[in-house]
Amino acid sequence: MRLVPIAVPALLIAAACAQPASPPPVPDPQVLMEADRAFAAAVAEGGTEAWVSWFADDGAQITPGAGEIRGHEAIRENMAGLDDPNYSLRWEPLRADIAASGDLGWTTGSYVSEGIGADGQAKRGQGRYVSIWRKQADGTWKVVMDLGNPTSS
């Protein structure tokens, strides 16, 4: 069989092939800082349902005294206080970290809670928290784990 001369030089193709694809962009942890701030703004506006909606379906939180609370229904029950007009929970992320694959990351920051205690007196708490985030199939980021600790109460 006679070889047909080929207009596209095969060696150039092979050389192009040997070059690695350009590396994927490094994910920016800033995306999680923004997600966490949007989460806080949503809860300030929408209370318990907003809180729940920012969790993945199998998301969980660890609450002092209650252990791990997992899934939307359990989280909704645990965070019913967010609908109390006398109670507020505000937070601000301080830093974030994200995996090279851009599918998992975490934020940490400080929170302040304000409400009315059982004695009728104003009650203020503050502390530090960690939220772990997973990118969902639809491209949104949802919380898969959330917990914090008071620095005073």
The residue ranges that bind its own copies (CB under 8 A) are 3-11, 13-14, 16-17, 60, 62-68, 97-101, 103-106, 108, 127-130, 132, 134, 144-145, 147-152
Q: Which residue number, 17 or 85, has a Cβ lying nearer to its own copies? A: 17
Q: How far is the CB of 131 from its own copies (least distance, A)?
A: 10
CB atoms within 10 A of CB 79: 21
Q: Which residue number, 31 or 147, has a Cβ lying nearer to its own copies? A: 147
Q: How far is the CB of 89 from its own copies (least distance, A)?
A: 16
Q: How far is the CB of 45 from its own copies (least distance, A)?
A: 27
Q: Which residue number, 3 or 137, has a Cβ lying nearer to its own copies? A: 3
How many angstroms separate the CA atoms of 150 and 125, rounded?
A: 7
Q: Tell me the C-alpha to C-alpha distance, in Å, between residue 76 and each of 99, 105, 118, 119, 151.
A: 29, 23, 22, 25, 25
Q: How far is the CB of 27 from its own copies (least distance, A)?
A: 9
- Which residues make Cβ contacts (< 8 Å) with residue 127, sequence separation at least 6? 110, 111, 148, 149, 150, 151, 152
Q: Please name which of 78, 148, 66 lies closest in space to residue 113, comparing C-alpha atoms.
A: 148
Q: Which residue number, 65 or 120, has a Cβ lying nearer to its own copies? A: 65
